[in-house]
Amino acid sequence: MSGGELFVVDDNPGNIRFIEEAFTVLELTPTIHTANTRDEALDFIHRRNEYEDTPRLDVVLLDWRLSQTTGKEVLDAAKSVTPPIPVVIMTSSKTQMESENASVSRADKIIEKPTEPEKYVELLRPYLTAQ
């Protein structure tokens, strides 16, 4: 089974590798694009600089706690393009996210970072196979 364009924004390369391996093992093979910083993610979403020819994304998997910032600007960017891109926010603590309710209200889903690779695939499958 194949499907879609997944954009993972996380400043931890280990998390990105874990997510890529999850899709490989479970034979769902979206094209996985990655960014480690807010600025790189914004360029990718807006198709600026070296990302001018990037494909339309099906879903953004966004680590809310990026180095020295939150994912708010990336979330806002994904929702500002036409049509808006679905965004799934990852956090280590959903209770921590409650204090930022207004900032994350535009997210399509908020999840605690899974510890099992299958959970990523399960959560993202509807966004990647809905074409």
> Closest Cα partner for 120 from 5, 14, 16, 11?
16
pLDDT tens per residue, range 12-61: 999 999 998 888 877 667 899 999 999 999 999 999 999 999 999 999 99
Whether pTM exceeds 0.95: no
Give me the domains of the chain, ranges plus CATH numbers: 2-128 (3.40.50.2300)
Give the burial class of 40: count Cβ atoms within 10 A of its Cβ; 0-12 exposed, 13-18 middle, 19 or more buried.
Answer: middle
Write the CA distances from 67 to 9, 82, 91, 124, integer angstroms. 11, 28, 13, 24
Residue type, 98: E
pLDDT tens, position by position, 49-92: 999 999 999 999 999 888 878 889 999 999 999 999 999 999 88
